[in-house]
Amino acid sequence: MSFDVVGKADTAFADDPTYNEELIGVLTQDMLIIDPYISSCGRFAVSPEEAYGIPAEVAAAIRTHNVIGA
């Protein structure tokens, strides 16, 4: 598993003020996942551990850093 830090301007959230300027993401299936609690298609809630192999503590830290759901 690898993590990437990307600028918000390089994502679909460029104009969303609720996200940090730098986002932590996990690259999976050629997609950058910035909310590990959402499926790669963006439509379904998932378990980060089951879907991406991300431990719950790490998933929570990613979500907190990216300011998702604030």
Give the model's pLDDT for residue 36.
92
Q: What is the pLDDT of residues 10-23, one digit of tens each?
A: 777 778 777 777 88
Which has more pLDDT, 24 or 8?
24
With b meaning 16 or more CB within 10 Å and e meaning fewer, what string describes 5-40? eeebeeeebeeeeebbeebbbbebeeebbbbbbbee
39-53 pLDDT, tens digit each: 988 899 999 999 998
pTM value is 0.74
Residues 57/49, Cβ–Cβ less than 8 Å: no
Structure tokens at 8: 């918000």
Question: What mean pLDDT is reported for the chain?
Answer: 83
